[in-house]
């Protein structure tokens, strides 16, 4: 989340996020009227800032609401919409923190689990007592440059807002102009029943590819490549797929090798992967 508070305050943008993220942004001074907490199942019309301002001034038609509700533009004035769906956080590869590889190969298959209670709660506690307190666990002289930069950041005031608890993963289906749809799933986790029921089916899928798949709250038996291919299939094989959450990292895993995922996806579905370059504009739709 670091940076989301500054973007919201500087631009006046409305923030749609889970309750944990909203609470953190509220602490950092994001105005209440810009905050929209969601948990999955919401359908939200999206407006330009100009239209939202006109609604506040009473210059345009408003949506009906309970007494005291901030003025909202009528949905007919929306330029887009987003449907929010419950999703899932990925699992870390292996059975313990020590098993995290230097490079995650999306073709590596994982099966079984350490116990019947393995779940994303392990990620929450790993964040709270491990990652966020890394500076307490490692002597400074044992850190490489990347680890030092990470520790310095999470221990600095610049890192706020920052939470060890993700608040519940969500996915978002953006309904844009001309009946085009973009589905964004920010972690390698999902509920297959939800994926199958998403309508409209997306034209573009932005899919996280790091970690071990989380299917319906349980570790997925197979590779990240297989899991991502399954997601594409359930979503109707979007024309284009963009991998995310595979950036180079200052801590292990240093990076994610997406080649196996790209090859499997393009072999078994009609989807095609688009490789983006940093700071270079790319059009979602031709």
Strand order through the sheet with 189-190: 189-190, 214-215, 218-219
The model's confidence at residue 12, banded by pLDDT at 50, 70 and 90, is very high
The tokens of 235 are what? 């979503």
The model's confidence at residue 16, banded by pLDDT at 50, 70 and 90, is very high
Phi and psi, residue 145, nearest 5°: -60, -40
The 10s digit of each residue's pLDDT in 183-224 is 999 999 999 999 999 999 999 999 999 999 999 999 999 999
The model's confidence at residue 113, banded by pLDDT at 50, 70 and 90, is confident
Q: What angle do CA 197, 207, 268 make, to 5 degrees?
A: 75
The model's confidence at residue 178, banded by pLDDT at 50, 70 and 90, is confident
Half-sphere exposure of 75 (CA within 13 A, CB side): 7
Q: What whole-number distance in Å separates Cα of residue 204 and Cα of residue 174?
A: 10
3-state secondary structure of 119: coil
Q: Does the pLDDT at position 27 exceed 80?
A: yes
Query: Please, what is the average pLDDT of the chain?
Result: 93
Q: Which of 95, 250, 87, 83 is nearest to 166 (CA)?
A: 87
The 10s digit of each residue's pLDDT in 118-167 is 888 988 998 899 889 999 999 999 999 989 999 999 999 888 888 999 89
Q: Which domains does the chain have, with CATH numbers?
A: 4-77 (no CATH), 85-93+167-273 (3.60.15.10)
Helix extents (H) in the chain: 4-11, 19-27, 49-56, 121-129, 134-137, 145-154, 192-197, 224-234, 259-268
Identify the bridge partners of residue 182 per DSSP, sorted by sequence position. Answer: 174, 204
Looking at residue 34, its pLDDT comes to: 94
Distances (CA, A) of 129 to 7, 120, 216, 256: 29, 14, 26, 24
The 10s digit of each residue's pLDDT in 226-281 is 999 999 999 999 999 999 999 888 888 899 999 999 999 999 999 999 999 889 99
The model's confidence at residue 32, banded by pLDDT at 50, 70 and 90, is very high
Q: Which residue has the tokens 């964040």?
A: 127
Within 8 A by CB and 6+ apart from 278, the residues are none
């Amino acid at each position: 989340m670091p940076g989301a508070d500054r973007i919201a305050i500087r631009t006046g943008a409305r923030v749609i996020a889970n309750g944990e993220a909203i609470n953190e942004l509220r602490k950092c001074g994001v105005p209440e009227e810009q905050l929209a907490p969601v948990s999955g199942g919401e359908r939200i019309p999206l407006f330009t800032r100009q239209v939202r301002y006109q609604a506040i001034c009473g210059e345009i038609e408003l949506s009906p609401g309970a007494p005291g509700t901030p003025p909202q533009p009528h949905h007919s004035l929306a330029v887009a919409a987003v449907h929010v769906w419950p999703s899932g956080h990925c699992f870390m590869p292996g059975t313990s923190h020590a098993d995290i590889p230097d490079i995650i190969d999306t073709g590596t298959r994982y099966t079984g689990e350490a116990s019947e209670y393995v779940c994303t709660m392990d990620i929450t506690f790993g964040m709270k007592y491990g990652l966020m307190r890394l500076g307490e666990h490692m002597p400074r002289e044992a850190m490489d440059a990347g680890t030092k930069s990470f520790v310095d950041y999470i221990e600095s005031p610049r890192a706020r807002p920052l939470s060890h608890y993700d608040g519940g993963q969500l996915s978002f289906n953006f309904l844009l102009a001309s009946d085009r749809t973009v589905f964004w799933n920010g972690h390698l986790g999902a509920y297959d029943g939800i994926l199958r029921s998403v309508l409209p089916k997306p034209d573009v899928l932005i899919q996280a590819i790091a970690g071990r798949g989380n299917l319906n709250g349980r570790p997925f038996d197979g590779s990240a490549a297989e899991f991502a291919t399954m997601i594409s299939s359930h979503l109707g094989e979007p024309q284009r797929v963009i991998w995310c959450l595979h950036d180079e990292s200052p801590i292990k895993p240093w990076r994610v090798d997406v080649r196996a995922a790209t090859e499997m996806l393009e072999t078994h579905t009609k989807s095609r992967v688009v490789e983006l370059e940093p700071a270079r504009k790319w059009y979602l739709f031709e």
